[in-house]
Amino acid sequence: MTHKIYIIEDEPDIRETLVYNFQKENFEVNSSGNGIKGLEDIKIKKPDVLILDLMLPDISGLEICRKIKNDDQLKNISIIMLTAKGDEVDRIVGFELGADDYVTKPFSIRELILRVKVLQKKQSENIDSDKLLEIGQISMDLDAHSVSIDKKQIILTALEFKLLKHLAQRKGRVQTRDQLLGDVWGYSSEVTTRTVDTHIKRLREKLGSACNYIQTIRGVGYRFNVSNQ
């Protein structure tokens, strides 16, 4: 099966180098140096993975990320952000919007290819997984990205949904903050573990009567458990 990748990068040398190397790895590659044109192409070509430069002249890469993740036809596209060194705020916002990973410029082509292949593997696992996850009061439709508590739908951000899904699929197993940063946010070193605590707090508030399903394991991390409910 040929995997499709799309590259939005306004620097011609970088874009051409990426296209060449991914074609060598047998990817079907399309690209654009223009964010608006790239977004229109993506709607037609529907790639598996998007490599997205955040600093574009015509439209912010973050805005492209937002539009893709808010589009039911495109939201399953995996996004790897290309960011300048030190742009931590943009990375955090990107993950909030649903981006899957990031690479800081200047970057290793080999590392980027490996990261894309990791995302491919995750996509294959998601395709094979059950589409409906029901635990206690919680029901998750994994295709529709919807969550219900006692059959009443609640609204979660893309990242909150990903965090809840990750914990629920590992029911009864303790997940450290570092594990959650690596598995849910896609990285583990440049944002503090307090990021996890903040999102867990918000998620619990939205879960209402099911908030105690997410248990704090003091000094370690969190565990999803319904046995005592």
Do 144 and 112 belong together in one domain?
A: no
Per-residue confidence (pLDDT) for residue 229, from 0 to 100: 45
Do 27 and 46 belong together in one domain?
A: yes
Per-residue confidence (pLDDT) for residue 88, from 0 to 100: 75
Profile the chain (229 residues) by mean pLDDT over runs of 10 residues: 87 95 93 95 93 92 92 88 78 84 88 87 61 88 89 91 91 86 69 83 94 91 78
How many domains does the structure of the chain reveal? 2
Per-residue confidence (pLDDT) for residue 124, from 0 to 100: 64
Do 74 and 141 belong together in one domain?
A: no
Do 112 and 13 belong together in one domain?
A: yes
CATH number for the domain that contains residue 173: 1.10.10.10
Do 62 and 149 belong together in one domain?
A: no
Per-residue confidence (pLDDT) for residue 11, from 0 to 100: 94
Do 155 and 102 belong together in one domain?
A: no
Structural domain including 84 reads: 4-127
Per-residue confidence (pLDDT) for residue 51, from 0 to 100: 96
229 part of a folded domain: no
Do 161 and 188 belong together in one domain?
A: yes
- Domain end call among 127, 143, 177: 127
CA quadruple 146, 101, 73, 60: dihedral sign: positive
65 part of a folded domain: yes
Which residues, at least 6 apart from 206, have a Cβ–Cβ distance to it below 8 Å?
154, 155, 156, 160
47 part of a folded domain: yes
